[in-house]
Structure 1
Amino acid sequence: MKNFMKHFYVLGILCLVLASCKKESQSGPEFINQNNSGTNIVRTESTQLLTEGFETGSKGAYASASVTLGSGSWTLDDALIGNTTADVKSGSQSVRVRNTGSISMNFNISAGDSTTVKIDHAKYGSDGSSTWGLWISTNGGTTYTQVGSTITSSSTSLQTATFQVANTGNIRLSVRKTSGGSNRINFDNISLTTGSGTTPPNPGGGTPGDDDHLLLGNPNGAVTAITSPNNYLMDQTYYKISYNRDRGTPNWVSWHIQSSDIGSTSRTNDFRADSALPSGWYQVQSSSYSGSGFDRGHNCPSGDRTSSTAANSSTFLMTNMIPQAPNNNQQTWEGLESYTRSLVSAGNEVYVIAGSYGTGGTGSNGGVTNTINNGNITVPSNVWKIIVVLPNGSNDISRISSTTRVIAINTPNTNSINSDWKTYRTSVNSIETATGYSFFANIPATIRTALKQNVDNL
């Protein structure tokens, strides 16, 4: 009996050690799990390096010139930015290329192993088919080498071409039309992702990638690099954000809500500075909004994270806050937040992304205010949110269709706002135009286009 108890005790200790190791292996960017045959599969968490949807910048002529876009400077040669009804696009603009024109980056992106490039393309208007390809430079644009196969654009709706890039280190992209003469091609939604493209499975199970806060895409290619201070990606466990150091607020915050996120934990109210910001960056304090006439407005709401004290407390980091007009925060947005949670209670899961843009809001003190806290925090002019609603289930991306419900609203950051959030419903396209972001990059192109143009009316 003693020997049995001794072996049982040792076995228990081994189980605890193995469980601890398994838990630790899933906390980093690389982890191992097994497929059905018991074979180990190594997956690495993907990082989106660049997203360009061509919603900012303008160029109305084909003559070669450099244009500043959301991701940086690009040279458009025999190409322009098109916004006519004949231009095929997922937002309000796309690139139009003719003859043997090209679009090329004037800046470098640091690529890692298994870099994936995705490009949406379609033939322009009633033009005939044309071919094109992707070229990569590893020496700052001095020389280029073609990557992958030559692609034919023959459809009048956006199709997605995918390329695998083996080069690591600094790279530049050049998209080049190779045949078709004066026939034109539209290009949109160029994205670069490094890593396997598979996110770790969730502790609660389901398909790898499901429930990830950025499953639908990284709208502006935010990265965790101090060289990107105004588009700095932060993983706050219960949500992810693109932080803007110079504005002192997030550009956007993205999160997933399911029934297990809604519990009975009380509001912690522990507003505090975010010590995870890089050394030397200004940290907004819990008192930084005092006397400003603006609320410390949550992007990811406290009410969406009530499963535990840790979850709720995470929403009170000041990197999750914007200066929000009190009536905007406490009435209009509170109404939308409560409605969103009611959708979850009714058997749905939702993907949410919220943000703000512009300068100048009107709080309870009256008058337009551009900054507070001695200029360290910019007051936005507008606050927006996009909500994608799915019935509970798995394989989320594959379940999204052109009829999936998407709620998009864009409100002025004023105290005279209408309390009914439905007044401010709009399209995702319009939010893209206002922000320069590109949403739903991970959703197939034809579905993405339909979702972006719809305005919810339920």
Structure 2
Amino acid sequence: MKHFSVVALLCLLFASCTKDKLPVPGQNPTSLPATVETLISGFPEGFESGSKAAYAIGNVSLPSGTWSFDEALIGNLATDAKNGGKSVRIRNSGSITMLFDVNNAVQVSIAHAKFGSDVASTWQLWYSTDGGANWAQTGSNVVTVTTTLQTVVFNTNLSGPARFQIRKLAGSGRVNIDDFSIESDTTTTNPPDTTVITPGDNSNLLMGNPSNAATDIAMPANYLMDKTYYSLSYNRDRGTPNWVSWHMNASDLGSTPRQDDYRADNSLPSGWYRVPSSGYSGSGFDRGHNCPSADRTSSVAANSATFLMSNMIPQAPNNNQQTWNNLEDYTRGLVTAGNEVYVISGVYGTGGTGSNGGVTNTINGGNVTVPSNIWKVIVVIPNGNNDLGRVTTSTRVIAVNTPNTNSINSNWKVYRTSVDAIEAATGYDLLSSLPVSVQNSIEAVVDNL
């Protein structure tokens, strides 16, 4: 979660900061105009003047405008996380929706926290540019895991009228929302990209956050990172991801050549060890991609993103170059045949056998743990929209769990297993965004096609 500094907060309150718009990929940065971002009148909305004591659906008049609250109320209990005396509290699959439009919203920031001792919650920010007739998700799913308010920022870059909605995903946890802020771009001359994405579809975490990872330095063993082309849970102490999750369809497969620009991930928190590109040298293990280079050939930026060392694991060469490569080729074949896939890849355990022989527990001076097992779960659905709604009890799910050894069989099908078995080995809750009845069915099956 992003935190504002004191200076940034003062800029937000007094709307006096001037910022340069980030370059759009493929454009010359020097051709973009400077922009001035200012708070839209009525924001930030702190929900202090509103009153709604019940979860039943109803409208609330606030300084920013009228909002619809569904399975949501304005809470003022000691267990409500809040700045001031009140904040929104949402339960189940509830939502809060603006019933009014704002113009040229380029950035939305929202403070959020768990209610009391509730379990973590997942929620999304959606927008509508046609008065609420149609909605699309902006940004990635947000997982709320702490009882202290954290601020998340969405770069919406919208031109013209729009309204916003917060949707909580089904679950037993309740989430508090406060300080809903919208900034507008008052001087843009180049219209922002307002491509509407099918609601929720294609998000790297659409199938769920297996370990409830969060972008919180207090969670170094389960640190959530959004790399645009994939999302991951990073483990500082192991020097590798716990898991990496991504979506792939035909638009991700192009003609961009392999970049081979392995490099340390400098976006890791200050003070954390950053595995260098040479960190696996001489170890007998490959720098094994989780999200494969060949899954991201639509652009140089997409392919280059896969070469961050935070996407790598120490993988036995034959596992990487044969077994895993064959599975990756097969998966891309499913995509070119008219499907889209959601993939989650991860590791567990300690101790693998590389080309040097013998079991190795760590490499790179002890900074990188060698896993004993490497697993992957692939959800396969025909191309289309409303992806979550189209996953049924008959959807094909491929689960594979391989030992991290150089004597491995090159036929990945030998290592097929069930999602339930991988969950038992890792403690993760895979495909958690799906209805429980669907999970119970497809997670028990071992693929045999």
Structure-2-length-normalised TM-score: 0.64
Deviations 1:50-103 (A, max 9, x none): 5xxxxxxxxxxxxxxxxxxxxxxxxxxxxxxxxxxxxxxxxxxxxxxxxxxxxx
Pair 166,376 (structure 1): closer, same or farther in 2 beyond 3 Å: closer
Q: Residue 439 of structure 2 is aligned with which of 432, 443, 448?
A: 448
Is the 1:332–1:421 contact (alpha carbons within 8 Å) kept by the matching residues of 2?
A: yes
Shift of 1:46: 3.8
Give the 3-state SS of the residue equivalent to 1:453 in structure 2: coil
Is the 2:140–2:203 contact (alpha carbons within 8 Å) kept by the matching residues of 1?
A: no
Q: Residue 208 of structure 1 is aligned with which of 199, 209, 223?
A: 199
Is the 1:34–1:41 contact (alpha carbons within 8 Å) kept by the matching residues of 2?
A: no
Aligned to 2:143: 48
**Aligned residue-pair number:** 314
Is the 2:341–2:381 contact (alpha carbons within 8 Å) kept by the matching residues of 1?
A: yes
- Quick one: distance in 2 between partners of 1:34 and 1:356? 42
- Quick one: distance in 1 between partners of 2:433 and 2:137? 22
Q: In the alignment, is residue 414 of structure 1 matched against residue 405 of structure 2? A: yes
- Quick one: distance in 1 between partners of 2:387 and 2:434? 10
1:133-172 map, 5 Å: 164-166=174-176
- Quick one: distance in 2 between partners of 1:23 and 1:306? 33
1:86-125 map, 5 Å: 109-110=147-148, 116=168, 118-119=170-171
Identity between Structure 1 and Structure 2 (%): 58
Aligned to 1:239: 230
Pair 225,316 (structure 1): closer, same or farther in 2 beyond 3 Å: same
Aligned to 1:389: 380
Deviations 1:20-46 (A, max 9, x none): 999983798767541356799997854
Aligned to 1:320: 311
Pair 363,441 (structure 1): closer, same or farther in 2 beyond 3 Å: same
Aligned to 2:216: 225
Give the 3-state SS of the residue equivalent to 1:340 in structure 2: helix
Q: In the alignment, is residue 294 of structure 1 matched against residue 285 of structure 2? A: yes
Q: In the alignment, is residue 429 of structure 1 matched against residue 414 of structure 2? A: no
1:55-74 map, 5 Å: none
- RMSD (Å) for aligned C-alpha atoms: 3.3
Q: Return 5+ residue gaps in structure 2 as ranges.
A: 1-31, 38-102, 111-124, 152-165, 181-192
Q: Residue 347 of structure 1 is aligned with which of 335, 338, 344?
A: 338
Structure-1-length-normalised TM-score: 0.63
- 2:409 maps to a residue whose letter is N
- 2:129 maps to a residue whose letter is Q
- Quick one: distance in 1 between partners of 2:177 and 2:129? 29
Aligned to 1:25: 106
Aligned to 2:275: 284
Is the 1:115–1:164 contact (alpha carbons within 8 Å) kept by the matching residues of 2?
A: no
Q: Return 5+ residue gaps in structure 1 as ranges.
A: 1-15, 51-107, 120-161, 170-193, 195-201
Aligned to 1:256: 247
Aligned to 1:132: none
- Quick one: distance in 2 between partners of 1:305 and 1:23? 32
- 1:342 maps to a residue whose letter is G
- Quick one: distance in 1 between partners of 2:298 and 2:287? 22
**Higher RCO, 1 vs 2 (CA within 8 Å, ≥6 residues apart):** 1
Pair 27,307 (structure 1): closer, same or farther in 2 beyond 3 Å: farther
